[in-house]
Amino acid sequence: MAKDWKELTTDELLNFNGPETAEIARFERIMQQRTAESLREFQSELSNTANHINQSTDRIVGVGNRLIKTIEAQGEAQKKHQRSIVWLTVVIAVATVAYVIITWFSVQTMQEANDIQRKSANIERSGNTKT
């Protein structure tokens, strides 16, 4: 009795050297079956690979979307920060101008006070010299 087709090795199939046409046809059918099984297995593996690629692509897209959201959030934060810096600069400039004006008025007032003191001293001296 012939071996079950699943038990035949590839070497037995490829090295068959007999004249029996029925045996040759059987081996040919076995080889076709193994080829079909190999192709189905290859198709399954290829399908699994495609699924893995799709999952990886989905993950990459998800990471990319999160990265875009993070960058947009950082952009908004930077925008607020820059606005704050602009306003702070304006406040500092206005305060500096106010300081300059106040200092200028203070200097003017000090000069006027010095003039008054000088005049008072002159009046006092001239009053003391007359007596």
What pLDDT digit, counting tens, does each position of 86-124 carry?
A: 999 999 999 999 999 999 999 999 999 999 999 998 888
Whether residue 2 lies inside any domain: the answer is: no
Whether residue 108 lies inside any domain: the answer is: yes
Provide the pLDDT for residue 124.
85
Whether residue 5 lies inside any domain: the answer is: no
**Is 13 or 86 the better-scoring residue by pLDDT?**
86
Confidence of residue 2 (pLDDT cuts 50, 70, 90): low
Domain of 114? Answer: 10-128
Average pLDDT over all residues of the chain: 89
Structure pTM?
0.48
Provide the pLDDT for residue 27.
78
Whether residue 26 lies inside any domain: the answer is: yes
The residues, ordered by sequence, that sit 6+ positions from 2 with a Cβ below 8 Å of its Cβ are 23, 26
Domain count for the chain: 1
Whether residue 91 lies inside any domain: the answer is: yes
Whether residue 3 lies inside any domain: the answer is: no
